[in-house]
A = this chain, B = another copy of it.
Amino acid sequence: MPIEQLDLPTSAEVFSAAQTIAGQVHTTPLIRSTQLDTLTGANLHFKCEHLQKVGAFKARGACNAMAQLPAGTHLVATHSSGNHGAALAWAAAQAGIECRVVMPETAPMAKRVAVASYGAEIILCGPSLADRESALAKLVAETGAHVVPPFDDPRIIAGQGTVALEIMHQCRDAGFTPDIVIAPVGGGGLLAGIGLAMKALDPGATVLGAEPAGADDAQRSLRSGQLVTSQQPDTIADGLRTTLGQRNFAVIRETVRDIVTVSEAGIVEAMELLWTRTKQLVEPSAAVGLAAVLEHGARFRNKQVAIVLTGGNMDLDRACGLFNSREKTA
């Protein structure tokens, strides 16, 4: 669809979303680590969205979308590798509305258990985005469910952007403004929302996206100016295997300076550093921001850098397996 025909969200909608979801989601802490500052030569501020409701920033967008459902909606549905599904299931349960979630069979068991624990029905499908979309289309045809997409939706983008409003408040309370705000990018809901918010609050700050080199569609899209709509993702960051949405791409082009990529080893290293130095249990996708600082050090040196830790949901044995070879050679 041509950009001019898309219903793109505005900065004002991010501010409005913050009012809508206040009291339903947590204001999460912004934490520091002397050891990680020393290691990177930067001033790092970690926004703890793994401590958000349902353990991920996705609660923000889901809450905002649920507040704007069409009248008479009795059933909502979505597809998700996990955190958006859990967030929608949680938000729907709070609103007393039924929810179904299409999930890839490759999603971590912990995320499937979370979705089920909020009372939603799970429909399993193949691992690709096309698999998910066709399963969701079938569900909608059969039930008339209202779809709340995981990222390509103005309500979702605006909701996720509220994290940047909190970051700015917290930075100002601490007496500084961030030079750089960096967030992982999968479908681009979070990054687009942050871009919109920062454009309104502090257009001088640099907003960066970070993604695995094995799922680098956002970087290729941004650099070519053409939305890359398919890829064969190869990354442990299960939350970042999707490709950018149309609306997300349109917003990110206007508000985000650059997308940087990181290696798989870098993600594991960053995750281990976050676990052992900050004692925060974050999932692989959430470690991509710190991995970018580790692998693109010069860009961040001596800067005030806000990094979004996006979630903390994972299967412990799978996560622990990532560290095994590293520990044994230490």
> Which A residues lie at the B interface, using CB under 8 A?
29, 50-51, 55, 109-110, 272, 275-276, 279-282, 312, 315-317, 319-321, 323-324, 327-328, 330
Contact = CB atoms under 8 A, between A and B. Distances in A.
User: Main secondary structure on chain A at its contact with chain B?
Assistant: helix
A62 B235 CA distance: 44
Contacts of A321: 320
Contact of A281 (B110, B280, B315, B330): B280
A224 to B, nearest CB: 37
30 contacts: A29-B29, A50-B279, A51-B279, A55-B279, A109-B330, A110-B276, A272-B316, A275-B281, A275-B316, A276-B281, A276-B316, A279-B280, A279-B281, A279-B282, A279-B312, A280-B280, A280-B281, A281-B281, A315-B327, A316-B320, A316-B323, A316-B327, A317-B320, A317-B323, A317-B324, A317-B327, A317-B328, A320-B320, A320-B321, A320-B323
A166 to B, nearest CB: 17
Contacts of A320: 316-317, 319-321, 323-324
Contacts of A276: 110, 281, 316
A182 to B, nearest CB: 20
Nearest to A109: B330
- Which 9 pairs show the lowest CB-CB distances between chains A and B? A320-B320, A317-B327, A279-B312, A279-B281, A50-B279, A316-B323, A275-B281, A281-B281, A316-B327
Copies of this chain in its oligomeric complex: 2
A59 to B, nearest CB: 13
Nearest to A283: B279
A104 to B, nearest CB: 19
Contacts of A330: 109
Contacts of A281: 275-276, 279-281
Nearest to A318: B327
Contacts of A279: 50-51, 55, 280-282, 312
Nearest to A48: B279
Highest count of chain B CB atoms <10 Å: which of A50, A279, A317, A321: A279
Highest count of chain B CB atoms <10 Å: which of A50, A275, A320, A323: A320
A279 B46 CA distance: 14
Contacts of A272: 316
Nearest to A282: B279
A276 B280 CA distance: 10
Contacts of A110: 276
A158 to B, nearest CB: 26
A96 B280 CA distance: 31
Contacts of A275: 281, 316
A86 to B, nearest CB: 13
Given A279-B312, A317-B328, 20 more contacts: A29-B29, A50-B279, A51-B279, A55-B279, A109-B330, A110-B276, A272-B316, A275-B316, A276-B316, A279-B282, A280-B280, A280-B281, A281-B281, A316-B320, A317-B320, A317-B323, A317-B324, A319-B320, A320-B323, A320-B324
